[in-house]
Amino acid sequence: MTSHVIRSPVALIAVALIGIVLWDAFETIVLPRRVTRRWRLARIFYRLTWKPWAGIARRITTRARRESFLGFYGPLSLLFLLALWAASLVLGFGALHWSLIATMHTPGEPPSFGTYVYLSGTTFFTLGLGDVTPRGPVARGLTVLESGVGFGFLALVIGYFPVLYNAFSRREVSITLLDPRAGSPPTVDELLRRHGRDHLHHLDRFLHEWERWTAELMESHLSYPVLAYFRSQHANQSWLGALTTILDACALFIAGGRDNSTWEAGVTFAMARHAVVDLTRVFHLSPRAPGADRLSASDLERLLHLLAGAGRPPSDAAGAARRLAELRRTYEPYVNALADYLVMPLPAWMSAQATKEAAGTRTAALMTIDE
């Protein structure tokens, strides 16, 4: 029989393992705030599993297939994390039984370490098979304690899933409603085209609704970062793409505005930027500007023209361009870092149709010059 001197460190390790897992589950499921500590079991789990998953996804050339593959990660990672917690608790209590040499009734041979883990598993999941039973106050006390922990853990898990999926559903409803207003994928030029001069006054209400959506997104994704890995229903949609489009649109309205009409755009921009900055910190990402400029000078000129056609012409085009560049530097490094980490491409400022039309216009102009 192994001596108490050898088993005492095992008891300390077992208690530490149980404490770490329970505290990690509490921070992940129960605690409604962002946890800034780097070394957490859940964070290590996601770091170790997301990188290879994303690496495989980057090798998939078809966007629809890549999004489908990435869409499995969020739900699967959640199930595997819960399984890791449960297995760690079962192992911890089994090792604690073994280290304390808890007496038990077993048919046949004397109990081995595997027998103690088996007793722990049947106790944790409240199976009550009865083929292995504890004896003595220590063994019975540990069994009762583990049974209570297992029951509470399963109750937390049952309550955890509806909270996550309700938050996911609320997030996706607004993303879907963005399609008829800004296209799929959403772009700023489509937002301006589809509102135009007659309906641009609706944009203030639209931005107010997205200010609230952004606040809900920040609250839910800071409390439950796993939601960031959940993909949208369609390959052209993503929560990061929608959020970036709102930031782009607000920045354009602020840069080109001349009066109090930019107030709602300003508060929505502040809320959205707050969200992307905090989410970047959750994943411990370093902000970095995109490698290629998302908005060319010609595209900016067309956007300012659309803004003027909608009834909000900038008084100074050069000043508007300068202010827009300053605003973009305050949020683009953060959304770019999130996009690279989550494998979510950032939306363009101009729709594909508008880019094609502009290319056709340039080609026609060049042909005219040649003639």
Burial class of residue 340 (count of CB atoms within 10 Å of its CB; 0-12, 13-18, 19+)? middle
Rg (CA), the chain: 28
pLDDT digits (tens, 9 = 90+) for 93-144: 988 888 887 666 666 667 778 888 888 888 888 777 777 777 778 888 888 8
What is the pLDDT averaged over residues 308-322? 82
Provide the percentage of residues in the chain whose pLDDT is more than 90. 37
| Pick from 204, 212, 219, 218: nearest CA to 249 | 204
> What is the rounded end-to-end Cα distance, in angstroms, of the chain?
99
pLDDT above 90 for 334: yes
pTM value is 0.84
Q: 71 is written with which tokens?
A: 């869409």
The structure tokens 């690496």 sit at 55
Domains and CATH numbers, the chain: 4-157 (1.10.287.70), 183-370 (no CATH)
| Pick from 27, 24, 56, 53: nearest CA to 41 | 24
pLDDT above 80 for 361: no
